[in-house]
Amino acid sequence: MKELTLDRTQYGKLHQLFDENFLDYTSYVIRERAIPDIDDGLKPVQRRLLQTLYNMDDGRYHKVANVVGDTMKLHPHGDASIYAALVNIANKGYLIDRQGNYGNIFTGDKASAARYIECRLSPLALQTLFNNDLTKFVDSYDGRLLEPVSLPAKIPLLLLLGAEGIAVGMATKIMSHNFGELLSAQIDILQEKEVVIYPDFIRGGIIDVSAYENGSGRLRCRARIEELDEKTIVIKELPYNITTQSLIDSVEKAAKSGKVKIASINDYTAEEVEVEIKLPRGVYAAETINGLYAFTDCEISVSSNLVLIRDNMPCQLGVDEVLRHNTDKLVNDLEKELYIERDRLKDKLHARKLEQIFIEERLYKKIEEITNQRDLKKTVKNSLEPFAGELIRKVSPDDIERLLEIRIRRISRYDINRQQKEIRQLETEIKRIEKQLEDIIGFTVSYLKSILQKYGPLFPRKSEIKQFDEIEARDAAISNIQFCYQRESGFLGNKVHVENKKKDIAINCSEYDRILLIFSDGRYKVINVIEKVFIGHDLYYMDVLGKDQTFNLVYRNGLDKMTYAKRFKTPKFILGKEYLLFPEHKRSLIQLLVTGNEGIRVRTSLVPSSRARYNSLELDLDDFLIKGAAAKGKRVSNRVVRRVSNITGKAKPKKEVLQTLPEHEKPKGDKQEPEKNQE
């Protein structure tokens, strides 16, 4: 088979073709598919859908299948994206009234087929989204219809609805906000006040905004969990974008891995979220709630990325910048509407005055004998010139045409008083609008307050803003692993089992814990929970590493054979690295190690001496200052210490092994007492 080869020229042309087409595709996906526009906060499919609903609006519900079909005249990408966009907007509850099964945002149930459900625009959408006088229209993809470039939205839809989208080389994730708070923030902007606004999610829950930075950063979202009784937990609200099904799956996964313990979990969600968790024997609600936050979707982190289209280009802005842009646009749109309304009223007033002068001054009598059309118009125009001061503007040919179209019956039934009343009303309306134009900021504030008063109570805040501490997985984990040390074999791990209850050490821990090991010669290190490893036969102390434990240590220094005592807090460490509690020497030895903050008293038995008045000492270790783990400590006595024992202590030692002097250091005739393990 002959291989296909390209010379350098052909390769260059092909490369150029791919580059140009890919750039066109990238630009199209960014601007026409995935990223919303800052002006109306909508993606093209949403804008086309809402415009279609407005075109179809007659006050009654429409089959969603019909709406989708009509929208396809404007949208070139099939019905699936239109249907999904309609259901998504309808479930947010602001712009579309729905009728039928639109699914359940709490459980994740899908909506019924398009032929079974109906919808129409909500009163809020009809009042705030549409005005053909302010809308710029362009040809649709096939040139048969017109579609809007942007809707003249009078509410900040981008921040109200939120958005998610993945384009080529960029993505957007905009959090939704509360309706009333957004409009109140716009009022504050118009009144030149500081604005701080935080997201609000339709599923409720609790959000921590301490790491949220004006549309960027991170939000921590929690489910609202209530303790019904000590054996029953009920989840009442959900975090951002989490359904009860995904939440239950995460809880069951955590339960199977042993991170939380549950007896059963049931979903009773309907109009409100209700997920009930029953706990097994020996497990209580208070300790389980932290585990749910640590190991399940009851707590999630959400990163916000406010990317949008502005002036036909993608850019990243802050929430306050978007809100100020929408507020400035609202002021301009309202001002344009007032000018348009004023001009229409002036045109109407001009027509009324022309008609009044034409009939009351009997100007129509002057054209009764004229047959030439040109002379007819000229006569009417000349006869109106003396009244030019009473008119709003100059008389146009269209004005003359309208006067000539007045029928005799209308002239004969002309009501002067009624006409005067209408003229006065029009003049009053024009003055009102001109007054509003003089204070357009005040008019905008009044407009926002009227919208807020009418619709604000329908959309209360659902997410509670609250700062909460981050739960460490290590703190919330269940200690369901037995970690053992066999002194005879020297092995350590969770696959090692206790063989000698008197000598072996066993502790309960979780997979997230770290284990502190202290050896008889003063070495110590911190390790993770492991299956099995050989560490030797001289392990003295083993326990789960605590944050602020106090260690009380009595040891013999091999260099001078003297005994020292010291206290220190949980030492700093690098995982797996060995450290020393005292200078390394083959004769150095731990004589006593006790954990406890206060009330630790020890008795030291000294080597007998004929000249000595006493052969033992009692020490109160509370008198010793807490120093670093590597400190030498304070000498207990100038004499050699044979034995150290713990005689009192508010905190019991985790593991205490009494050490004795080696055989060659014992005085003759002295009987060695057996070793004791004191707990």
What does 553-582 look like in DSSP terms, one character per residue? Answer: EEEE-TTT--EEEEEEESPP--TT--EESS
The amino acid at residue 111 is A
Q: Which residue has the higher pLDDT, 336 or 418?
A: 336
- Confidence at residue 8, expressed as pLDDT on a 0 to 100 scale: 66
Q: Mean of the pLDDT values across residues 153-173? A: 92
Give pTM, 2 decimals: 0.77
The model's pLDDT over 532-569, given as tens digits with 9 standing for 90+, comes to 999 988 899 999 888 888 999 999 988 888 899 999 99
Mean per-residue pLDDT of the chain: 86
What DSSP designation does 463 have?
S
Q: What confidence score (pLDDT) does residue 412 get?
A: 72
Give the distance, in angstroms, between the CA of residue 179 and the centroid of all CA atoms in the same chain. 17
Domains of the chain: 35-143 (3.90.199.10), 325-458 (1.10.268), 478-665 (2.120.10.90)
Contacts of 219 (CB under 8 A, 6+ apart): 175, 199, 207, 208, 209, 211, 212, 240, 301, 302, 303, 304
How does pLDDT run across 327-371, given as a tens digit for each residue? 999 999 999 999 999 999 999 898 888 888 877 777 777 877 777
Query: Residue 631: is its pLDDT beyond 70?
Result: yes
Tell me the three state secondary structure of residue 224: strand
402 — pLDDT class (breaks 50, 70, 90) = confident
**Which letter does DSSP use for residue 152 in this model?**
-
What are residue 98's phi and psi, to 5 degrees? -120, 155
The pLDDT value given to residue 249:
95
Active site residues: 116
**Burial code of 509-538, b = ≥16 C-beta within 10 A, e = fewer?**
bbbbbebbbbbbbbbbbbbebeeeeebeee
In this structure, what are the phi and psi dihedrals at residue 604, rounded to the nearest 5 degrees? -110, 125
Confidence of residue 672 (pLDDT cuts 50, 70, 90): very low
| pLDDT score of 4 | 52
The answer to whether the CB of 197 falls within 8 A of the CB of 185 is yes
Amino acid at 583: P
Spatial distance between the Cα atoms of 529 and 341, rounded to a whole number of angstroms: 76
Which amino acid type is present at position 592?
A: L
Binning pLDDT at 50, 70 and 90, where does residue 650 land?
Answer: very low
174-183, 304-313, 584-593: range with lowest mean pLDDT: 584-593
Asked whether the beta carbons of 49 and 122 are under 8 A apart, the reply is no
Strands 505-509 and 481-485: antiparallel
Question: Which of 475-503 are b and which e, b meaning 16 or more Cβ less than 10 Å from the residue's Cβ?
Answer: ebbbeebebbbbbeeebbbeebeeeeeee
Structure-model confidence comparison of residues 403 and 163, the more confident one: 163
CB-CB contact of 200 with 63 (8 Å): no
Q: Taking residues 205-221, what's their average pLDDT?
A: 92
